[in-house]
Amino acid sequence: MSSTEESELVLLGAWASMFSSRVEIALAEKGINYKYIEEEHVLDNKSPLLLKHNPVYKKIPVLIHKGKPICESLIIVQYIDDTWKEGYPLLPSDPYLKSQAAFWADYVDKHIYQGAKLIWDSKGEGMQKGVEEFVGYLKVLERELDGACLLDVRNFA
C-alpha cells in the first residue's frame, strides 16, 4: 500500500474543476484535514492513482478515505456529511429539502457546467450561441430559486 493510500483522507482534484471545488468547500466547512493531490493533466494524461481509484469514469474528484475511493462530487459531499457529523450539516435533514438541493445541484452540473464548457470550447457564432444558452440556464436558476436558499449560509465559515 502506498503512503497516499495509507493517509486517512486524500482528495484527487484539479484546481480549475468546479467539481473538485465543491468537495474542497465541503471539507473546509466541516474542518476536515486531508491530503490534496493535484491531477495536473487530467484531461489528457490521467495518473495511475486516478485510474486505480476511479476506473469507471476516470475523472476527478475522488475522495480516498482509509484506502477506499468515493467518486462523483455530489456523492462525495453526501458521504462527507454522513461520515463527519461534527459541525453544521452540509445538506438539509428534511427529505424534501434534501431532494430539492440535489435537484438544483444536478441542474448546475448538467446545464450551468455544460453551458460554460460550450463557451470555453467554442469560437465565433458557436461561442455566442453558448453565451445565450448559458444565460438562459442562469435565468431559469434565478427564476426558480427566487430567494430560496438551499444552504443555510449563515453558518458557513
Condensed to tens digits (0 to 9), the pLDDT of residues 106-134 reads 999 998 888 888 888 888 888 888 888 88
Q: Name the class of domain 95-148.
A: mainly alpha
pTM of the model: 0.82
* Residue among 157, 110, 70, 10 at smallest CA distance from 82: 70
pLDDT value of residue 7: 66
pLDDT value of residue 154: 46
| Long-range contact pairs involving 44-51 (C-beta distance under 8 Å, separation at least 24) | 47/12, 49/2, 49/4, 49/12, 50/12
pLDDT value of residue 61: 98
Report in angstroms the alpha-carbon separations of 30 from 12, 40, 53, 110, 144. Answer: 18, 26, 24, 26, 29
> What average pLDDT does this structure show over 72-81?
97
pLDDT value of residue 116: 86
CATH classification number, 3-83, choose in 1.10.760.10, 2.40.50.100, 3.40.30.10, 3.20.20.150: 3.40.30.10
Q: How far apart are CA 65 and CA 103, in angstroms?
A: 26
Indicate the domain borders of the chain: 3-83, 95-148
Condensed to tens digits (0 to 9), the pLDDT of residues 20-36 reads 999 999 999 999 999 99
